[in-house]
Amino acid sequence: MKDIDPDNNYIPKIEKKLQQVMGLNAASVGMPVVIRAVEQRMKSLKMTAIVRYYNLLIDSTAEMKELIENVIIPETWFFRDKTPFDALKKYIRDQWKPANPNKAVQILSIPCSTGEEPYTIAMSLMDIGMKSSEFRIDGIDISRENLIKANNGSYTRNSFRGDNISFKDRYFQKINDNKYKINSSISHSVHFMQANLLANFKPRQSYYDIIFCRNLLIYFDKPTQEKAITVLDKLLHKEGIIFVGHAETGSLKNFSYTSAKYIKAFAFKKNTPQKKTTLHQKRILNKTKKSATKILKSTHQYDAELSSSSARTKLIPLRDKNNIKTPLLDGAVYDNNKKIKQLKIEDIFILADNGDLITAEQQCNELLKTEPNAQAYYLLGIIKESAGDSEQADKSLRKAIYLNPNHYEALIHLSSIMKKQGNTKESNALFERAGRIQKRT
């Protein structure tokens, strides 16, 4: 069959159908991915007319599931982004276990893809001395093929990346030179289920203490994001925490969530509801307001006196200049004796981690006015990627790689963008380059 013309009228209709069924924002994966998936299904069905395929798709739930399987591109590995799992161990050890000494922690991993994330969670908990009876992990995914691989528990070298893969010796059995099987002590603690978060989602548990939902929301448009977060919010225990992807922190800003204070882990917790104000507290607040009004009046009087030329040399300022701390637009701070604290990229990452992507972007740009910084360009790249601006994300990530040719994360993200745009050749080249860097380090 001939390749499908990107301007074919049926492609937008198929994209819309995918959005209705699974919430997919086609722009997030790129039109070439959707076209390629349709071509694969038409080839399997020996169809040459896309109109025939479209008619089948709208009438067949089974075919819609098959198309979804071809659209989903699982890209994951064990301990992907190690920081969230370090934060998980710290949270369980320092907060959750002391508060719940006799309970088993309930954890949800959605989407769980081919199982690397939920198995990583189990290994992390085992590493801090927990037994399999002390936790339960539910891995949920929309893809049947992903779950078959997850249940099988066999993985190739592609699932073992990074500079520390010592866990492979502890938790896997070697099948051959390129395949490893996860130990039953880990696999028995994870339970997989096929489900769609957006369609009558009914997990095994009524609530979870911890939810991992990383790199799912970026594929949704805003209304679908809000629908998904509403479902997750109902499932998360009032004192629980949720981990999201680095580009998804802004999605939680319209909900009652605050940072769990684990740097670069992108973990959030629910805000504690404020208690009702008592009558006694209201009286105190009224007194405070009256005092504030008096102070405000005296300040206005001071300003009026200061405006007269005769008063300028006589009056003493109400504030001590040495104690002034004024935040500036560029993030620097005038402190004692007007010393200036310069912007630090670590602090900008914390802003992004807390969901304040607008300020993080502003401060990255301010920092780059004073110095070329690969990390600042990298952060700009993922902020632009999260906003759906692939062109600017591309430019920023390339600048990061220019300044630091060994920037593994920038290479991986740029490879992902190229893949979404259908540039498979450059995507593979960037991915292989990142792999070589990983081996060297």
CA-angle at 356, arms to 350 and 362, nearest 5°: 90
Give CA–CA dist 91/6, Å, rounded: 48
Query: Each residue of 346-405: pLDDT tens digit?
Result: 888 888 877 788 888 989 898 888 888 889 999 998 888 877 777 888 889 999 998 888
Phi-psi region of 372 (alpha: psi -120 to 50; beta: other; left: phi over 0): beta
Give CA–CA dist 248/214, Å, rounded: 8
List residues bridging with 107 in a β-sheet: 137, 210
- 3.40.50.300, 3.40.50.150, 3.90.1640.10, 1.10.3720.10: CATH of 82-270: 3.40.50.150
Query: Each residue of 408-429: pLDDT tens digit?
Result: 888 888 888 888 777 878 888 8
Please report, as a single letter, which amino acid is at residue 196. N
Give the Å distances, CA to CA, from 8 to 4, 49, 57, 73, 387. Answer: 7, 11, 16, 23, 27
Domain ranges of the chain: 10-71, 82-270, 280-318, 345-440
pLDDT for position 272: 60
pLDDT for position 331: 40
CA proximity to 41, closest of 75, 7, 20, 17: 17
Tally of CB atoms within 10 A around 43? 11
pLDDT for position 293: 44
Query: Each residue of 226-251: pLDDT tens digit?
Result: 999 999 999 999 999 999 988 788 88
Which residues are within 8 A (CB) of 143 and not within 5 positions of it... i.e. 6 or more apart?
A: 68, 69, 72, 74, 111, 113, 194
pLDDT for position 311: 36
Ramachandran angles phi, psi of 244, nearest 5°: -125, 175
User: E-assigned strands of 235-301?
Assistant: 236-244, 257-259, 267-270
Q: Are 209 and 267 in contact (CB under 8 A)?
A: no
- 82-270 and 345-440 have identical folds: no
Give CA–CA dist 370/363, Å, rounded: 11
Give CA–CA dist 71/32, Å, rounded: 10
pLDDT for position 281: 53
3-state secondary structure (DSSP) of residue 48: coil
3-state secondary structure (DSSP) of residue 9: coil
Which residues are within 8 A (CB) of 245 and not within 5 positions of it... i.e. 6 or more apart?
A: 214, 215, 216, 217, 218, 266
Residues present in the chain in total: 441
Strands of 333-334's sheet, edge to edge? 326-327, 333-334, 340-341
User: To which H or E segment does residue 181 belong?
Assistant: strand 179-182
CA proximity to 77, closest of 122, 114, 128, 109: 114
Give CA–CA dist 290/293, Å, rounded: 5
Give CA–CA dist 441/438, Å, rounded: 5
Q: Are 149 and 114 in contact (CB under 8 A)?
A: yes
Which residues of the chain carry a pLDDT beneath 50? 274-275, 277, 285, 287-340
HSE-up (13 A, CA, CB side) for residue 360: 28
In this structure, the strands spanning 105-109 and 135-141 are parallel
Q: What is the DSSP string of 371-406?
A: S--HHHHHHHHHHHHHTT-HHHHHHHHHHHHHH-TT
As assigned by CATH, the class of the 345-440 domain is: mainly alpha
Contacts made by residues 96-101, CB under 8 angstroms, sequence distance 24+: 96/209, 99/239, 100/209
pLDDT for position 127: 95
